[in-house]
Structure 1
Amino acid sequence: MSKVVLITGGSSGIGKSIGEFLKEKGYIVYGTSRSPERYSKSKFPILKLDVRDPLTVSACVQLLLKAEGRIDVLINNAGVGITGPIEEIPTAEIKSHFDTNFFGPLEVIKAVLPAMRAQQSGLIINITSIAGYMGLPYRGIYSASKGALELLTEAYRIELKDFNIKMTNVAPGDFATNIASGRFHAPVTNESPYKIPYGNTLKLMDEHVDSGKDPLVMAKAIYKIINTKSPKIHYKVGEFMQKFSIVLKHVLPDRVYEKLIINHYKL
């Protein structure tokens, strides 16, 4: 029996690549979007869901259960970027960011767990970020939201162990997607004391995304995880040095590692 997969944010970027790849492999795939009518030509159905709205989350999950009778895999992929000096990002934008990147995935997990518990099986894959392992300059809020989701997964895994429900994190590095165009940018203003370092860092971040890996690499990694009997707690997918930076953080003194970050961003 083909597994039923639900991918939040499955209309573009990494989510779309994962969905198309899994469908080719014979999975029953559903994606989500706040505006599904825009994706009528998608290779798999796109359901209406806004992770910030619990009512749409519940409605989407119930619709899928009515159509397929089960949900075998949830891929929490929906997310947004945010950049700027922490001091200058409006608090409302910070809260909105966490609503999408942290509280949103949490709501979707809560919505699918009863069905997974009833069927005594399920896999939840949370797409986080390598940025969630370190506090990156001018991406501090993004790092915090993804880091929070990483820790949530660690706790959830233990709580779910008696129900045969698996959960894991997959932290991508830089991939060639449209995340840069969709994220909130605190403006670079002439009056800001952060004008020069933030402006230079912003250019560097955009270059990294533009030269990032093909999202198909993520799709293949997800496929492999789904077919793993006992998924690990954490996976990292990206360039060698991006993944190695996490290793360095664990072995280097804090100030030495901080200096590496400063040198990397030329700050």
Structure 2
Amino acid sequence: MDSKVVLITGGSSGIGKTTGIFLSSKGMKVYGTTRNLEKYPDFGHFTLLQLDVKDHESIDRAIDTIMSREGRIDVLINNAGVGITGPIEETPLEEIQNTFDSNLYGPLRMMQSILPHMRKKGKGLIINITSIAGYMGLPFRGIYSATKGSLELVTEALRMETHTFGIQITNLAPGDFATNIAAGRYHSPVLEDSPYTHYARTLETINDDVQAAGDPILVAKKVYTIINAKNPKGHYLVGTFMQRFSVFLKKILPDKVFEKLLLNHYKL
């Protein structure tokens, strides 16, 4: 049996890199992507290709490269994305648009480009890496929550649209994991005359949560489990018990009670 051919966007660091290394160790043929290929001249874990999820042409080039080498792409993992924090009122609209462009439109571009190849083969698996933050509107992370929540819903619809083609599509929502996303995310500046004086304190809590987060190998192992599942579910969660339990609480608690829990967590 041939090993799976896997394409991971955002494969040069963080969850993408960890997942790529783990899947390679299991005998899969992994291709990762990065916007800046020249920054990784000695990257030897698996094959890296240049790809910007905001650029259709670079997407098509990368997919065509893999198809010419392998003849197929069995698994697409939409992992590339960016973080953003700040009061919604004070966050520049262009930064909001940029986040949606990477976190929602980027995966959409990837799926629109790869689905014709998967339909032709009559099979394929797409795993969209979302976030537990996408299940709830988090203070000062509302834009990030919105991008990931949108991708969750898009995936639900696309699963039904493509189920007759032998293609499986699922969401994997991680909690906080120890990656470099905090260093790379856009932070709205803490303004001295801002009415949102509590933003700076909340930002510290957000960063503390990331610094105390778990090993992304847990996400990689969950991806491997999904790849080997006969009929993947529509949604998967991976994170601490409380992170996963928060999604359950969101479903069962009255809105005001759940909101109070978040306000207490962020000391607002």
TM-score range, shorter chain: over 0.9
Q: Note the alpha carbon deviations across 1:222-248, whole angstroms, 9 max, x for none.
A: 001100000000000000001000100
Q: Classify the secondary structure of the residue corresponding to 1:29.
A: strand
- Identical columns (%): 60
**One-letter amino acid matched to 2:223:** I
Report the equivalent of 1:8.
9
Amino acid at match of 1:173: G
Residues 207-234 of structure 1: CA deviation (Å, up to 9, x unaligned): 1111101011111110011000000000
- Runs of 4+ in structure 1 deviating by more than 3 angstroms, as ranges, are none
Equivalent in the alignment of 1:171: 173
Alignment correspondent of 1:238 = 239
Runs of 5+ consecutive residues of structure 2 not aligned to the other structure: none
- Count matched residues: 266
Kindly state the Cα deviation for residue 37 of structure 1 after the two structures are TM-superposed. 2.2
1:40 is displaced (CA, Å) by 2.8
State the shift of 1:39 in Å: 1.9
Tell me the distance in 1 between the aligned counterparts of 2:192 and 2:210: 26
Partner residue, 1:218: 219
Residue number in structure 2 paired with 1:256: 257
Q: Tell me the residue number matched to 2:55.
A: 53
* 1:44-87 deviation digits (Å, cap 9, x = unpaired): 01101000111111111111111111000000000110000000
What pairs with 1:8-157 in structure 2 (closer than 5 Å)? 8-42=9-43, 43-157=45-159
Report the equivalent of 1:186.
188
Whole-Å separation in 2 of the counterparts to 1:40 and 1:234: 36
Q: TM-score, normalised by structure 2?
A: 0.98
Q: Distance in 2 between matches of 1:77 and 1:69?
A: 22
What amino acid is aligned across from residue 142 of structure 1 in structure 2? Y
SS of the aligned residue for 1:126 comes to strand
Kindly state the Cα deviation for residue 41 of structure 1 after the two structures are TM-superposed. Answer: 2.6
TM-score normalised over the length of structure 1: 0.99
Any idea what SS the aligned residue of 1:112 has?
helix
- Alpha carbon RMSD of aligned pairs, Å? 0.6
**How far off is 1:265 after superposition?**
0.5
Taking the aligned partners of 1:40 and 1:242, their CA distance within structure 2 comes to 37
Q: 1:5 aligns to what SS in structure 2?
A: strand
Q: Kindly provide the amino acid, as one letter, of the partner of residue 208 in structure 1.
A: D
SS at match of 1:168: strand
- Return the alpha-carbon distance in structure 1 between the equivalents of residues 227 and 131 of structure 2: 19
The CA distance in 2 between the partners of 1:40 and 1:117, in whole Å, is 35
Shift of 1:189: 1.1
Cα distance in 1 between the residues matched to 2:253 and 2:134 = 18
- Measured in 1, the distance between the counterparts of 2:132 and 2:222 equals 15
Once the two structures are superposed, residues 69-118 of structure 1 have per-residue CA deviations (whole angstroms, 9 ceiling, x without a partner) of 10000000001100000000000110011000000000001111011001
